[in-house]
């Protein structure tokens, strides 16, 4: 049951040091969900051998260029490759305004593009499928911005196959048992569900929080997630600039991870003033040890356990 994240770009507003602007891909059972779409997105798909035919939904945090300017090239390349499957793009209202202009100037789109408005001030369910729920997260940036929480749905329990014959369980009773029901047998009485089934692996979760200033209230929405991506644009010594621009420091990202009791913290959206990221990592690790640096091409698997 695949559930992993690929970093296509980890830079802040300006690409530098072989770091592209923000863009990520979440693979959930071979369905691709893109989060933000910085410049050069179609090139990153090629660089990392990603088949964009599997991309069905794009989630955009806000309308700043380093998070949306990859859309024109990506949509155009998809059209030139004769895509026919629809693509749904989520984002705050101004992202929709930008997308209208992109589609108006894209003469060769061979597929429908749908836009779903996300209210950046609300924590709300914005997408649901058989395997996944996606919630918006209110962020605090210089413009309206939304983060996203990707929550895997709980899977059914697994039957102990050898007990089906032992208790003569009819086929039509199995779905209910997988969903937690006990089984009532004329010979054995009530057989507890726990004796008949095996619990599924824990549902996995990923939270995307960029761009945002430090806001302790965010922990209420992301508490206990397996993987938290949180921007770390600046070091703490540049805290004043972080506040002025609506961004976070590595220390603040780590404090968020610590207070939210997350499994792993993934950093990104680095300022170009830091060609080397060692100090960013060390600042975060000093508060939250289970921290990793995001880098272009990095794949982070979320293991079921």
Which residues are the active-site residues? Answer: 66
**Are the C-beta atoms of residues 250 and 280 closer than 8 Å to each other?**
yes
Residue 291: φ, ψ to 5°: -120, 140
Structure token digits, residue 39:
């410049």
According to DSSP, the β-strands at 146-152 and 132-138 are antiparallel
Residue 43: φ, ψ to 5°: -70, -40
CA 249 to chain centre: 21
Max distance between CA atoms of the chain, in angstroms, equals: 74
CA 42 to chain centre: 19
């Amino acid at each position: 049951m695949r559930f992993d994240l690929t970093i296509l770009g980890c830079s802040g507003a300006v690409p530098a040091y072989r770091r592209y602007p923000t863009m990520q891909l979440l693979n959930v059972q071979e369905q691709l969900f893109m989060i933000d779409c910085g410049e050069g997105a179609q090139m990153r798909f090629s660089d990392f051998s990603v088949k964009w035919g599997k991309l069905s939904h794009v989630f955009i945090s806000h309308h700043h260029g380093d998070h949306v300017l990859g859309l024109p090239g990506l949509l155009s390349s998809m059209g030139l490759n004769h895509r026919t499957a629809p693509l749904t793009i989520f984002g705050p209202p101004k992202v929709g305004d930008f997308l209208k202009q992109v589609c108006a100037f894209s003469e060769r789109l061979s597929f429908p593009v749908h836009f779903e408005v996300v209210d950046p001030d609300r924590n709300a369910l914005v997408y649901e499928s058989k395997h996944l729920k996606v919630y918006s997260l209110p962020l605090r940036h210089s413009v309206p911005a939304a983060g996203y929480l990707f929550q895997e749905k709980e899977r059914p329990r697994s039957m102990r196959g050898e007990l089906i014959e032992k208790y003569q369980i009819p086929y039509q009773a199995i779905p209910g048992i997988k969903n937690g029901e006990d089984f009532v047998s004329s010979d054995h009485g009530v057989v507890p569900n726990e004796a008949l089934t095996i619990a599924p692996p824990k549902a996995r979760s990923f939270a995307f929080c960029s761009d945002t200033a430090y806001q302790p209230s965010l922990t209420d929405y992301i508490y206990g997630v397996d993987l938290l991506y949180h921007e770390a644009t600046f070091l703490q010594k540049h805290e004043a600039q972080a506040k002025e621009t609506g961004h976070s420091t590595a220390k603040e990202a780590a404090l968020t991870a610590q207070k939210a009791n997350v499994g792993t913290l993934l950093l990104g959206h680095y300022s170009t003033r830091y060609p080397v990221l060692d100090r960013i990592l060390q600042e975060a690790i000093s508060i939250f040890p289970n921290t990793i640096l995001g880098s272009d091409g990095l794949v982070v698997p979320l293991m079921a356990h």
